[in-house]
Amino acid sequence: MEDKIKRLSEIIEKSNSVVLFTGAGISVPSGIPDFRSAKGLYNSGETKYGVSPEEAISHTFYKYRTEEFFEFYKENLVFQNAKPNIAHKYFAELEKQGKLKAVVTQNIDGLHEKAGSRNVFNIHGNIYVNYCEDCNEQYGLDFVMKSEGVPTCEKCGGIVRPKVTLYEEALDNQVYYGAIDAIQKADTLIVVGTSLVVQPAASMVKYYFNGENLVLINLQETPYDNVADLVINEKIEKVVEKLENLAKQKN
């Protein structure tokens, strides 16, 4: 493991354009569960609404059972008090140094931005961005969380929904193609905390990265382990701790 951490440190040091691609695993140390793990939300069986968790956060459920959608969403997908952990902060610092060019994340928790990252492509949206479906008035997360039942616009009375991609909905084209552009320009792609099975996010790694170093940091195996240049099966917070210790030794 130590040799792999040293190699990762060397890869980062020699790279000119690093892009970080993250999934739920990077936010687990912040107290946000990995929904796709064995004990995660998506494997918890039928919800109290008589549908699966995936169905409860689908466009259909949102459209036809809107109040129940918001109840489920607020109880299961929003972790308002979560704070950035050592990994979020480490990669935000790499961006400040000019080494990391972009973060592409499947997460909706906003923790990369809270840590200080600026060039973030939230391909599944962000819980902190909410808008009226009718007049597009913008609202923060507090407005949604404090609303009773279905949040409604103070200007026109329309439904205020999170700018989060639900099942059955397409990704935001501008964000998606911005992320692809960043991945295509990277000489190193570091993938953290994702099984790389969710589409179309996984295909972004497969089809658009043509750089020198593909690094996978995940507790479990992924379908891309055999093509990666470096695979580290360790908790991301442990990896970052060792990277920071190495940096201190060099200084």
Confidence class of residue 67 from pLDDT cuts 50, 70 and 90? very high
% the chain with pLDDT above 70: 95
Query: What is the rounded distance in angstroms from the CA atom of residue 165 to the CA atom of residue 211?
Result: 29
The count of structural domains within the chain is 2
45 and 28 housed in the same domain: no
Sequence-separated contacts (24+) of 198-201 with Cβ below 8 Å: 198/23, 198/36, 198/106, 200/171, 200/176, 201/23, 201/106, 201/123, 201/124
Q: What is the DSSP letter of 58?
A: B
Interval 48-69 mean pLDDT: 95
Confidence grade of residue 108 (pLDDT, cut at 50, 70, 90): very high
Give the pLDDT confidence score for residue 176 in this predicted structure. 96
Q: Which helix (H) or strand (E) holds 164?
A: strand 160-164
Residues of the domain holding 50: 41-76
102 and 120 inside one domain: yes
pLDDT at 37: 45
Q: Is residue 142 part of a domain?
A: no
Phi-psi group of 80: left, alpha or beta (phi > 0 → left; psi -120 to 50 → alpha; rest → beta): alpha
* Residue 148 belongs to some domain of the structure: no
Residue 78 has a CB neighbour count (10 Å cut-off) of: 19
What value does the mean pLDDT take over residues 234-248?
Answer: 93
Reported confidence tier of residue 202, pLDDT bands at 50, 70, 90: confident
47 and 118 housed in the same domain: no
> Rounded to whole angstroms, how far apart are CA atoms 225 and 227?
6
Active site residue 88: no
pTM of the model: 0.94
- 216 strand-pairing partners: 191, 231
Structure tokens at 152: 């409604």
Mean pLDDT of 193-206: 87
The encoded tokens of residue 196 equal: 């790389």
- Segment 9-18 shows an average pLDDT of 96
Mean pLDDT on 78-86: 96
Residue from 59, 88, 112, 124 carrying the catalytic annotation: 124
pLDDT band at 39 (very low <50, low <70, confident <90, very high): very low
Q: Specify the pLDDT at position 163.
A: 97
Which of 45-49, 109-113, 157-161, 174-178 is least confident? 45-49
242 shares a domain with 187: yes
CATH number at residue 21: 3.40.50.1220
Q: Are residues 243 and 192 in the same domain?
A: yes
Name the strands in the sheet holding 100-105, side by side, starting at the edge strand that comes first in the sequence: 120-122, 100-105, 18-22, 188-192, 213-217, 230-232
Same domain, 68 and 48: yes
Closest CA to 131 of 107, 155, 163: 163
